Every structure is written in C-alpha cells, then in structure tokens.
Chain A
C-alpha cells in the first residue's frame, strides 16, 4: 500500500457516507478523494447537493483561503489550427464560422490593459496551434515586452500548445510565470476527443513546464460525452499531475464541430462536478472558465463560488463572449470574497 493510500484508509467517519468520509479525509487532513470516492460524490442524490457544496466551500476556505484569483485571456492567434479537438471552433478541420486572425501588438497591449483594469492579476495569451513556431514565439516575446513597456505589471501566462524543451526555456526567459495546457478530459476518453495528438504528449509538455519552474495550469472541458466514471478518472489524474491551477470549462457546443449537437451539462450536475473536483484537489486553484454562463447562469455561478471555486476568468473568452467583468466583480463583493492582489502572487 502506498503512503497516500494508507493516509486515505485512516478512517473515523461512517464508511457508507462519502461526505462524512470527505469531511474527515479532505477537510481535516487535506487528502484528496480517490477515484472511487469522487465517483460516489458524483452519484450523490440531488438532495445532498447543498451539503456537498457547503463541504467543498469549507475545504476551499481551509486549504486555499478566501481570496479569488481573477484572470483575463486573449486569443493572439485565432482559428486555422491543424489539430482536431472535437470541441473546438478553431480547428481548421471543421466547417465552423471562425476565420483565422492574428492580433497585433497594440491590440495585445490594449487587451492586457483592459484586463488589469478589472483588478485581475493574471493575463493569459493563447494561440490556436499544435505548438508554437518561431513567428508565434517572436510575437509573444514582442507582446510581453510591449506590455511591460506600457507600465503594466500584470502576471503573464501563455497557452501555446505542445512545447519542446527549448521553447519551454524560451518562455521562462521571457518572464512567463504560468503555462496552460489542458489535459482536456480523462486519459481513457481523450482518443474520442482528439486524434491528432495524444494525452501523453500533453502530459510531457506539462512535465517540462513544471521542471522549468513555471506554474502548471491544466484542466479541461466537461460535457464532451464522458461517463461519470471518466469524470472521476479525470479528477484524480489532475490530482496526480498536481497543477497550480485547474480551469474548469463546461462545453459550449460550437456550430460546425462534431460536438455541435451536444446538450450542455445541466446546472446541478455542473455544481456537483465543481464540488467533486474541489474534494479531489483540496489545495489547487480551481477556476471557473468557459461555459459557466450557459450551464449555470448567474445564480449557479454564485453557488459555484460557494462550492469550491476560488478563481475566475472575467470578461470574454477566446472566441465566445462571457458576461460583463463588472458583474463578476460585483458578485465577489456580494460574496465578501477578496480579489487576490498582485503582490500576493509574486
């Protein structure tokens, strides 16, 4: 038996109630739920949802604290991606209405300025590519330089696909402090979602990112036809990765993609997932990302913030619109959740 497994079998809670077990194991000892336990949480009856969210919130407050990290994102290179991620309107392989676009440096600087004005401490530069080429890396380098020269000291993250070791090192040298590369879904489901590269290739990039000293950001999209068992599998695979941040997206079915006709996840199911992921990842930053507007609406977003979430993307996403940033900032004020300050993250 591994040390982790041994920790999990320490048991003074009723074995038949997963919330009682989680209270002792996760809240008191900070040990994330196992795959089997996450599945049990996902199978809880709807009348236990409020108890589940309350526990997940306690876990978040105990192990992460009350602060919320606010982030803005921008698409530096939109569309025309050679990969076939079935959820993505930016794949060049599907007949979606998204056309290729490059954002120029002044546009990037302005987007960073707009993001900083919301109080965000994090600005993520994203490109729809398999991996960055020399032109893209040059644009990122020039963009970061211009953002800094504009007097904006917001922290900069990047999401540029799969990396080589040399590219990882280049990004570190540019001052990129966090790298996003989503595992997207459970390893067992990944081949149904993407066929042009593997889950393991993504894992390799994340390993290099961590070893180079950048913070690792990796999450995924829920609602892509995965089973409850695969959702539990995904949660514990993320826990094994132990990223600094996990962005949780809910599928927005995109016209022209293979997932166009998928139904969005139902709100209660989405909230259950938020809480279950928190119980699997007690110390990890769990971020509300795309799809929450469609899946949860305003009321559901508040419930998610009180059910384990401790970070949000505000404003618009890459190709989709979000709700106005101010509405999220007002929500945080109403919930008495302070926004993480820049000095706290350095």
Chain B
C-alpha cells in the first residue's frame, strides 16, 4: 500500500509531512493501490479522487 499524500510505500520511512496537522487538511493525492497521482475534486463538504487504473473514491466512501 502507498501513502495517499506522497505516493511512497506506506511502510517506507517516517512520512513526517504526511501525518502532521497540515496533512489532515489535504485530500488524498496518490492512489493507495498503485501510487498514481489522482485527479482530485474538493467540494464544500467532501472530495472525490479518480485513479486512472483503480477508479473513483470519495470522502463519503472513506468515512462511511
């Protein structure tokens, strides 16, 4: 699995910039399955992200 904020493997290194308060204000940018950069749309109440290989995910799916 890959970090949704920097695209590096989750298990690799500390990811200090990916787990701080700033990262909490970021929607996912990289696909957790393949680390491709996703097309992300932020809306007033959520976000949606599309990976060209793994399809769409939304904030509702993440929290629901």
Listed in ascending order, the chain A residues whose CB lies under 8 Å from chain B are 72-75, 78, 97-101, 103, 107, 110-111, 114-115, 118, 252-253, 255, 264, 293-294, 314-322, 324-325
Contact = CB atoms under 8 A, between A and B. Distances in A.
Given A320-B25, A321-B27, A75 B42 contact: yes
A314 B43 CA distance: 11
Nearest to B23: A255
A97 B42 contact: no
Nearest to B21: A294
Contacts of B5: 97, 255
7 contacts: A97-B29, A98-B40, A114-B44, A252-B22, A252-B25, A264-B22, A317-B42
Contacts, number: 74
A107 B37 contact: no
Interface of B: 5-7, 17, 21-22, 24-27, 29-30, 37-47
A4 B50 CA distance: 55
A331 to B, nearest CB: 17
Contacts of A73: 44
B37 A74 contact: no
B55 to A, nearest CB: 15
A241 B56 CA distance: 44
Tell me if A's interface is mostly helix, strand, loop or mixed.
loop
A294 B7 CA distance: 23
B38 to A, nearest CB: 7
Given A99-B37, A255-B6, A111 B44 contact: yes
Nearest to A113: B44
Nearest to B20: A294
B41 A322 contact: no
B44 A255 contact: no
Contacts of A111: 43-44
A89 B43 CA distance: 17
A53 B45 CA distance: 31
Contact of A316 (B21, B24, B47): B47
Given A99-B37, A110-B43, 17 more contacts: A74-B43, A78-B42, A97-B6, A97-B30, A98-B40, A114-B43, A252-B22, A255-B6, A255-B17, A264-B22, A293-B25, A294-B21, A316-B43, A316-B45, A320-B26, A321-B24, A324-B45
B10 to A, nearest CB: 16
